[in-house]
Amino acid sequence: MTDVLTRRSIFAQAWPIMLGQTTVPLVGLVDTAVIGHTGDAAALAGVALGTTIINLIFWTFGFLRMGMTGMTAQAEGAADAAEVEAMLLRGLALGVGLGLALFALQIALIPLAFALLAGGARLDAAAQGYVAARFLGAPASLAVFAINGWLLGLGRTRAALVLQIVMNLVNIGLNVLFVWHYGMGARGVGLGTACAEWTALVVGLLIAGRYTGGLAVLGRLRDQRLFARDAMRRLFAVNADIMIRTIALLLMFTWFTNAGARLGETTLAANQVLMQFVSVAAFVLDGFAFTAESRIGQAIGSGSAEAMRRAIRLTGEFCLAAGVAFALIFWAAGRPFIDLLTTNYEVRATAAALLPFAAIVPAIGAPAWLLDGIFIGATRGRALRNAAILATAAYVATDLLLRPAGVWGVWLALVLSYLYRAVALGAFLPGLLRSVALAKAAP
């Protein structure tokens, strides 16, 4: 992407990501509605618990998306076409390899995950079928992380949109088929998602082949370039920090789910419904955060401190405005969506009472999501790692302090966690700006 940084060009890059990202929470909404309209609160809560477990395990390797975006963008900014292609192959090899390892280790990982979470016999029974089915898609899921990150790093957001839409539409269709037609319950939701991930891998490889010439890329890259020591050292160093950062944030959301589970099936199910609101806002606002990743990575690769500052300002304007807009929409029109997602009266009433907490998250969370994008694009893994650890520790302490307040305390702690993340990352921003300015000034 070499066009001038303007609001028009930022939005042109962001809108395909936003459109594609809306289909991600749409899958969660459909899954929630498919299970919720069975009227079985235990099944709905079981999907929530199972989703938390899968997110904890799979998104531990989210660096395959985030690290790929920043490093690919920097290679693109430096006009290093061979390194751009090498990044794709490294990411695919790492994703498939780690996915196969997860599949082989599930016999130990699944029991451990359920031992750590407070579910209970009924919830565990519903969640175990979902989790086991999702592990069938582990290699494809992690490989698709890498393809997505590579496309976003290049600024090929329309290609990423096609990949996202294909995967999520297949997911929705199969989930409806398996649950409503075949009566497979939570296991059907997991199986539909796994099948969609394998479909997405095939489509993703075809899309990536358009930009690399398909298998011809293997002939252009010697083993020495593909697995060069310096490149691999940097890959693992950046990804290790991002992995720790991701684990810290996953533990935060796992703690939140577990806090709801402690308070019973109805609370956990209501929290699952409300988290769909948070997911919609987060995934759509990620359009601007992902754009920041690409633009800032390319600015650093080309050595332009001015382009980086402009990218931060323009993506920040869009992100903050969208966060406030989502908060107002959820506040004003959230209740009908709650009723749409579940027919259980107790779950509806609990979710409606807690709606103001979920509604305010987009406005408070926007700075944290944007700063994530800035530091991912800059491949400042250490700052991401340290900020996430600090924010998670502060969140856990807040939740423990607010436990006497029950579910209100659970949600207040979650809302404050976004503020902690923004403050912690914001403290590293001046240093990032100085380092890029100094690099430009160096002879």
Q: What is the pLDDT of residue 130?
A: 84
Among 138, 156, 238, 134, residue whose Cα is nearest residue 204 = 156
**Which letter does DSSP use for residue 180 in this model?**
I
The DSSP annotation for 361-376 comes to HHHHHHHHHHHHHHHH
Task: Please report, in angstroms and rounded to a whole number, the separation of the first and last CA atoms in the chain.
Answer: 26
Cα–Cα distance, 271 to 358 (Å, whole number):
9
Q: Within a 13 Å sphere around the CA of 104, how many CA atoms are in the beta-carbon half?
A: 6
Residue 9 is encoded by which pair of tokens?
């060009």
* 187 phi and psi angles, rounded to 5 deg: -60, -35
Helix axes 265-302, 407-426, angle to 10 degrees: 10
Alpha carbon 336 to its chain's center: 26
- CB count, 10 Å around CB of 141? 28
The alpha helices in 59-120, defined as continuous H runs, are 63-77, 81-116
Cα–Cα distance, 41 to 318 (Å, whole number):
38
Asked if 154 contacts 73 with a C-beta cutoff of 8 angstroms, the reply is: yes
3-state DSSP call for residue 382? Answer: helix
Cα–Cα distance, 33 to 358 (Å, whole number):
18
Place of tokens 């506040």: 331
Per-residue buried b or exposed e for 142-177, using 16+ beta carbons within 10 Å of the residue's own CB: bbbbbbbbbbbbbbbbebbbbbbbbbbebbbebbbe
Asked if 133 contacts 194 with a C-beta cutoff of 8 angstroms, the reply is: yes
pLDDT in 10s for each residue of the chain, 443 residues: 445 678 888 888 888 878 776 666 566 666 667 776 665 666 677 777 777 788 778 888 888 888 889 899 998 888 888 888 888 988 898 999 999 999 999 888 888 877 776 556 666 677 788 888 999 999 999 999 999 999 999 989 889 889 988 988 898 889 888 888 887 777 888 898 899 999 999 999 999 988 887 665 655 555 556 777 777 777 778 888 988 998 898 889 889 988 888 888 888 888 988 988 898 888 888 889 988 998 999 888 887 888 889 999 999 999 999 999 999 999 998 999 898 877 888 989 999 999 999 999 999 999 999 999 999 999 898 999 999 999 999 999 999 999 999 999 999 999 999 999 999 999 999 988 888 766 555 54
Contacts of 207 (CB under 8 A, 6+ apart): 147, 151, 159, 162, 163
Q: What is the pLDDT of residue 443?
A: 46
Q: What is the pLDDT of residue 1?
A: 47
How confident is the model over 217-226, as pLDDT tens digits? 655 555 556 7
Cα–Cα distance, 280 to 19 (Å, whole number):
11
Whole-number Cα distances in Å, 46 to 130, 181, 240, 348: 8, 20, 31, 17
Domains of the chain, by residue range, sit at: 7-441
Among 126, 120, 113, 170, residue whose Cα is nearest residue 36 = 126
- CB count, 10 Å around CB of 398? 17
